[in-house]
Homo-oligomer: A and B are copies of this chain.
Amino acid sequence: MRVIVDAFGGDNAPSEMVKGALSALLRDSELNVLFVGKEKETLDAIKEAVGDSEIKCIDGLVTFGGAKSAASGRMTVANADEVIGCDESPTQAVRTKKNSSIVVGLNMLKNDPENVAFVSAGSTGAILTGAYLIVKRIKGISRPAMAPLLPTLKGGQVILCDCGANADCKAEHLVHFAVMADKYMTVMNGIKNPRIGLLSNGSEEEKGNELTKEAHALLKNTEGINFVGNIEARDIISGDVDIVVCDGFSGNIALKASEGMANGIMKLLKDGIMNGGLKGKLGALFIKDVLRNIKHTMDYNENGGAMFIGVEKVVVKAHGSSKASAIANAVIQAKELAKKDVIGKIKESLGGVTFNEA
């Protein structure tokens, strides 16, 4: 199964993208990877990653020997000369930069059934706009959503949907998000009747703003999902729910506030240890494993990318600052999403539900 990887998206492109994809290939024998990006730089990065100076590229197909030769013949490169920056207007960039890695990659995803998924750590706006315009949304879903997985304190995962694709939502959009996320967690995480919480400013039913009050009433009356009511932002990572539904603005606030606090505490811990003299450093040495585990547990980058859920094929956005390990996870996740046919399952479930295309 071939996954397209945007070699030129993200802060650490192309080297970490290539290293990550290579690592995914070595871990998962079902996988093939098609890189889109500046051909020469991408090949240089592959050469460095595989450590074989005899590497060959014929018609885009890359072969090599050496320790990582299990991935030989499973990578192809398609040239895309342009890069869309994170500071560009997404709509304009997607319309004008036809040779950008995002636009080329999404077109290849759309047009070739062999390509099952697209992974990028590039401009979120351009990926969303491009996927919306090129890959197109599933009939019946008016608003595709960005759905990252977060680690929970109980050791599982929770999916946050939407976390940024739709800054303004109507109540029925939140119902779409719930139905799509329900299929995601059922199919991908194997959870029966995933518990769905509606993000609000209080757990009581009457709490909320106009949007969530209306959404609450709709969700309560949506059959086939396990809606458990409102949840507060402090309980997103509690593990008490499997899915948190919200508008993209609130989801973005929740995600980034959590990230800011996690980074902040880790920084204070590091500073405190560095300034704590020998005693602090000895302490750090003793609890090194604890700290590493926490960083690993709470680092949502390690949980793979965020699926842009609601378009016709699998599109996964990895965090802009992703390193190779996060990219590897995102690539394998994207393949699994395609293999387990999450999108087909969403479409089936829509058969029984009537949506207003608002």
How many Å lie between the Cα of A212 and that of B250 in the bound state?
Answer: 12
A interface secondary structure, majority: helix
The reply to whether A269 and B257 contact each other, CB–CB distance below 8 Å, is no
Is A260's CB under 8 angstroms from B280's CB? no
How far does the alpha carbon of A87 sit from the alpha carbon of B284 in the complex, in Å? Answer: 43
Which chain A residues in 203-261 approach chain B with CB under 8 Å?
Answer: 204, 206-210, 212, 232-238, 247-250, 252-261
Cβ distance A287 to chain B, nearest Cβ, rounded Å: 3
CA distance A261 to B294 in the complex (A): 12
CB pair B280–A286 under 8 Å, yes or no, is yes
The reply to whether A260 and B282 contact each other, CB–CB distance below 8 Å, is no
Copies in the complex: 2
Whether A201 contacts B286 by the Cβ 8 Å rule is no
A276 CB–B CB distance under 8 Å: yes
Q: Whole-angstrom distance between the alpha carbons of A202 and B249 in the complex?
A: 10
Query: Number of residues in A with C-beta < 8 Å to the partner?
Result: 65
Nearest B residue (CB) for A124: B202
Q: Which residues of B contact A250 (CB under 8 A)?
A: 249-250, 253
Contact status of A164 and B201, CB under 8 A, knowing A234-B263, A237-B264, A254-B257: yes
Closest to A284 in B: B287
Per the bound structure, the CA–CA distance linking A71 and B158 in Å amounts to 51
Task: Please give me the residue from chain B that is nearest to A252 by CB atom.
Answer: B201
Interface string of A282-297 (1 = CB under 8 A from B): 1111111111011001
Name which residue of chain B comes closest to A239, CB basis. B264
> CB of A191 within 8 A of chain B?
no
Q: Cβ of A253 and Cβ of B257 under 8 Å apart?
A: yes
Cβ–Cβ contact B249 & A237, under 8 A: no
A234 surroundings in chain B (CB, below 8 A) = 256-257, 259-260, 263
* Residues of chain A from 112 to 148 with CB closer than 8 A to chain B in the complex: none
Does A358 sit at the interface, judged by CB under 8 A? no
Q: How far is the CA of A282 from the CA of B232 in the complex (A)?
A: 36
Distance to closest chain B CB from A150 (angstroms): 10
Contact between chains at B248 and A260 (CB < 8 Å): no
| A267 adjacent to chain B (CB < 8 Å) | yes
Considering the complex, give the chain B residue whose CB is closest to the CB of A294: B268
**A151 → chain B closest CB, angstroms:** 9
CB distance from A322 to the nearest CB of B (A): 16
A58 contacts partner chain B, Cβ-Cβ < 8 Å: no
> Which among A233, A253, A268 has the highest number of chain B CB atoms within 10 Å?
A253
Interface residues of A (CB under 8 A from B): 87, 89, 153, 164, 167-168, 199-202, 204, 206-210, 212, 232-238, 247-250, 252-269, 272-273, 276, 279-280, 282-291, 293-294, 297-298
Known pairs A153-B268, A200-B249, A232-B252; list 15 more (Cβ under 8 Å).
A87-B204, A168-B209, A202-B252, A212-B249, A233-B257, A233-B260, A234-B256, A255-B257, A261-B262, A268-B297, A269-B294, A272-B287, A272-B293, A272-B294, A282-B283
Offer 12 A-B interface pairs, CB within 8 angstroms, sorted by A.
A89-B206, A209-B247, A233-B259, A250-B253, A254-B257, A255-B257, A257-B257, A258-B258, A261-B265, A279-B286, A282-B283, A282-B286
Give 6 nearest A-B pairs by CB, closest first: A283-B286, A283-B287, A272-B290, A234-B260, A233-B256, A201-B252
